[in-house]
Structure 1
């Protein structure tokens, strides 16, 4: 029973899961069925199985769901499933399915008494993600791979290779269903998996894990530096209403400017350095919008403000015709303008 002891020992070292309520995302494939078996042994049945049916493989999708449902009935485990119909829009069906899946996970975490959602990603997945991001173009963060613990979503198998997972399944007589789309070479991940298969051995895994660790340290150092720069060029910052002002002159002397622009403004939805540089030379009052924030050009500063409070910067007059319609409490916010004072009062 080597692999059973090996898995339980490492997961217990990396994650404290005893007496925790965990939702386990199960697809019926090898990885998620092994994850479910391991967590049953660790958590003493304080788990709930969740399953996403995207209806992309016809009857096979329904058979996957039925397979998991029957397993849960046999082992007296709570089972929740959700049906989706992902529609291809500006990105692939796979990306749309991923968004729908994670949106549901976030909903479950926010509306259920649940400590974690466990996912079946493993070491090979992280290696494949590394090369996918490398091919598409990415920074250090994209090369780190798949985070094994993020926002209450855990990946207990992330320390194990696909080979180890398969040996665990064979040793413990675990049944699973194969997804034939995993062998379709029209998907980039599958082509990378096929290419890497001959060179995946102990030395490769060991070297890869070391490289990921060093890249993570580099990422932490970079983030610490960006935080320092952000604080040094920020003139004003408020939590409520959320806004901050950045000194344009201090921002422009940074090099390489595109990297700093991306690092500082990407979190607010402004990810294109070319568009950001255009606003530097624009007139005061020029605005850019992301989904949740407004970027405003003032004479010497850039102001980032939540869209909820963007009306404070618009040139509009508001009239109150009936004082009885005002809801109590009534809030008014004032902001200091950089424009020159005029002799008359504007209301």
Structure 2
């Protein structure tokens, strides 16, 4: 028993096979706190410090207190957002005093939050969120800390669910705040705000009140102070019934995501930095729009955009954009590619004699010269074998343009590049990346597709320029 007594409260709780209530050290809030940590597997290594996000409010103060009571190592991180004048400075001083009391490290910083929000055209709340998490992650890396713990409680989760419902969401949005998300854990999600307040008073803890919490200008505050009281008039146990509903929806979401994973394997494939979606496999199904939205969620397209595409699945040439990607239709499939700055592939490149390699976009052309009698022509459009002595340097590499024409290999007549691309059924998303190589303003090679008849290797060719 001596070895057990030398352990932390958290480790003793883990040792108790008949539940946390068997531990006499556990206090009213500490008992469910320890239980929640174990159930959700939030503390992987009890020897490493967890970085606690501490504002000075009652929630984060209780979080610190519980970590201390449990004997879990921690450090404190605090952000001063310069939004409440002297109040913000007093919060910072309070948090530093708290860290001295617990004899733990305190890392604090100050942000010009409103300037950051204005510069990035985002709300003040979103700016504050972005800034603090950047700061927290930098501390993890710099000081070798284990993870970040925030003081979100169940009432916060309910507010998030209502916000998601009002703004529009998928099933995941109804599952509330999750106990763990990568390096972020939320150890107080088991508790209601009222429980946290009562516990803080019971333990005679001090904390700071944030006056902005009463300002209904902020959406969360409006929901907290106006909407939820109305919902209580219908259901006094609104938060508890919401918790039960979230548990059911979380389980349903796991089943749903399992099916989505299977669908991804069936309809997505990748080639040459493009993602192809075999949309014709599921467009006939009544739930197609929802499934495709979930499958493509990581690319940032909206549900409305996906719905429009589902309605007209055979409308080739249609294009939509997210922040970083573009999605286009091509017959029975969709194609997703990274958005390319308009000037990135539009630059002409001059290739002088003796050049060994040239990069354009995410492609590289390699140049080699061979004596004809030693050269074997490779039958692939990705390699151009050209009669060196028919070329006039410098060569020009550029995107194809409407009106460009050449003499395709094996043909006597002239053909427009646009017509060849149509004949080869090149998707619109790929057409944008097609380049041509010219010599003295004549097309030598439509890169990766077809060389010009006039520049092919013949029996009379002495030197071969191979480009691949």
* 1:97 Cα deviation from its structure 2 partner: 1.4
* 1:22 Cα deviation from its structure 2 partner: 0.7
Distance 1:338 1:210, change over 3 A: farther
Distance 1:257 1:331, change over 3 A: closer
1:1-347 residue pairs with structure 2 within 5 A? 2-14=27-39, 15-16=42-43, 18-44=46-72, 46-87=73-114, 88-89=117-118, 90-194=121-225, 195-196=227-228, 199=232, 203-234=237-268, 236-237=269-270, 242-274=273-305, 277=309, 280=313, 283-284=316-317, 288-307=320-339, 318-321=349-352, 323=355, 332=364, 340=423, 345=451
Task: Let me know the Cα RMSD of the aligned residues.
Answer: 3.7
Aligned-partner Cα distance in 1 for 2:270–2:343: 18
Q: Verify the 8 A CA contact 2:33 2:190 in the aligned structure 1.
A: no
Q: Verify the 8 A CA contact 1:282 1:297 in the aligned structure 2.
A: yes
Deviates more, 1:245-254 or 1:62-71: 245-254
Q: Verify the 8 A CA contact 2:82 2:111 in the aligned structure 1.
A: yes
Aligned-partner Cα distance in 2 for 1:207–1:53: 36
CA deviation map 1:242-284 (0-9, x unaligned) = 5321124335323244323422223112225337629955555
Aligned-partner Cα distance in 1 for 2:203–2:239: 24
Deviates more, 1:302-311 or 1:135-144: 302-311
Aligned-partner Cα distance in 2 for 1:252–1:192: 38
Q: Verify the 8 A CA contact 1:279 1:297 in the aligned structure 2.
A: no
Structure 1: 5+ residue stretches without partners: none
Q: Verify the 8 A CA contact 2:314 2:330 in the aligned structure 1.
A: no
CA deviation map 1:131-166 (0-9, x unaligned) = 222222322211111111001100000001112111
What SS does structure 2 have at the residue aligned with 1:252? coil
CA deviation map 1:162-218 (0-9, x unaligned) = 121112212222110001111223333223323535849995444322211101112
Query: Which entry has the higher C-alpha Rg, 1 or 2?
Result: 2
* 1:300 Cα deviation from its structure 2 partner: 3.8
Structure 2: 5+ residue stretches without partners: 1-25, 366-379, 383-419, 425-445, 453-466
What SS does structure 1 have at the residue aligned with 2:451? coil
TM-score (norm 2): 0.62
* Structure 1 stretches of at least 4 aligned residues deviating more than 6 Å after TM superposition: 308-312, 314-317, 324-327, 333-338
Deviates more, 1:256-265 or 1:173-182: 256-265
Aligned to 2:433: none
Task: Please identify which structure carries the higher strand content.
Answer: 2
Distance 1:5 1:118, change over 3 A: closer
* 1:121 Cα deviation from its structure 2 partner: 0.3
What SS does structure 2 have at the residue aligned with 1:304? strand
Distance 1:233 1:331, change over 3 A: closer
Distance 1:65 1:156, change over 3 A: same
